[in-house]
Amino acid sequence: MMSTLDTLTAGIEYALYAAGAFFFLAGSVGLVRFPDVYTRLHALTKADNLGLGLVCLGLAVRAGSPVVALKLLLIWLLVLGAGATACYLVAEAARAAEVAPWTRGERR
Amino acid sequence: MTAIWWAISEGDTAALAVGAPAALAAALISLALHPDPLPVVRPLGLLRFAGFFLVHSVRGGIDVALRALKPSMPIDPRIITYDLRLPGNTARVVFTNTLSLLPGTLSAKLGRDTLEVHVLDCAGEVTAEIARVEDRVADLFGVRLAPHAGGAC
């Protein structure tokens, strides 16, 4: 039998998942719609940072254990570090290959 | 390192028999491989940095999500060159990566004393925003920076 508290926790949990999924989706939309490699990297790094953070937060609520929450925080930070580094490497490679950034007024 | 292992094994103390020596070895090896002395992170600075990072992560995610989803797609991107004030490679790398995760800015190339930043929307005080992030990273390592000269986007 679920108590009111359980129902509330589950509600918060699923709200966090939904919010996280929204930002992943928005990031993917940006990946498709944005005009060049640099702007697409913006969409991926920012939206996924927040999306994964929200999903991890939801999972931490579900786990209800401080150690598991700490582990999820660690996962989030490691993915952020890897994501930001990979993003920098792609951007730097694009600069080295002299990929001109898209500017306003150009056709997409 | 050992604390990280403890978290990964979900507090299983039996796993420490394997984890503790491995963590110690990993820490020693990475210290030996690291070219210059590691700067010390200040706890209070870390706390302030974490708060700043969380708030701006949320702002950054919402900002880019709205720009991607709006039919008009309001972006005005440009690459600007930012004059670095932070000393030391480690602090600069932390700054470079942090900037990429925060609203509207993406680190493209770390030069000798400059950082090329791709800006998603040139409207507003972009350089001042970047300088604020640099101030936070400086605070993290207990460094004081002179005010940034600023510059146009």
User: Where are chain A's structural domains?
Assistant: 4-96
Distance from C-alpha of B64 to C-alpha of B79, rounded to nearest angstrom: 17
The number of residues in chain A equals 108
Q: Residue A12: which residues within 8 A CB-CB, separation 6 or more?
A: A58, A61
Taking the CA atoms of residue A60, residue A64, residue A70 and residue A76 in that order, the dihedral angle to the nearest 10 degrees is -10
Which of B34-38, B46-50, B55-59 has the weakest average pLDDT? B34-38
Contact B84, A41 (CB under 8 A): no
Distance from C-alpha of B67 to C-alpha of A23, rounded to nearest angstrom: 12
Residue from B118, B60, B149, B29 nearest A50 by CA: B60
| pLDDT at residue A3 in the model | 84
Position B111 pLDDT exceeds 80:
yes
Position B3 pLDDT exceeds 70:
no
Mind listing the pLDDT tens digit for each residue in A20-36?
A: 999 999 999 999 999 99
Q: Residue B28: which residues within 8 A CB-CB, separation 6 or more?
A: none
Using the beta-carbon criterion (under 8 Å), do A47 and B79 form an inter-chain contact? no
Contact B58, B103 (CB under 8 A): no
What is the average per-residue pLDDT within B53-73? 92
A residues 5..64 contacting B (CB < 8 A): 22-23, 26-27, 29-30, 33-34, 36, 38-39, 41-43, 45-47, 49-51, 53
Indicate the pLDDT class of residue B22, thresholds 50, 70 and 90: confident
Sequence spans of domains, chain B: 2-33, 43-140
| pLDDT at residue B14 in the model | 67
Mind listing the pLDDT tens digit for each residue in A51-101?
A: 999 999 999 999 888 888 888 999 999 999 999 999 999 999 999 998 889
Give the minimum alpha-carbon distance from B99 to chain A in angstroms, rounded to a whole number. 9
Position B16 pLDDT exceeds 90:
no
Residues in B whose CB is inside 8 Å of some CB of A read 4, 6-8, 10-11, 57-58, 60-69, 73, 75-79, 96-98, 100-104, 106-110, 116, 118, 120
What is the average per-residue pLDDT within B39-51? 91
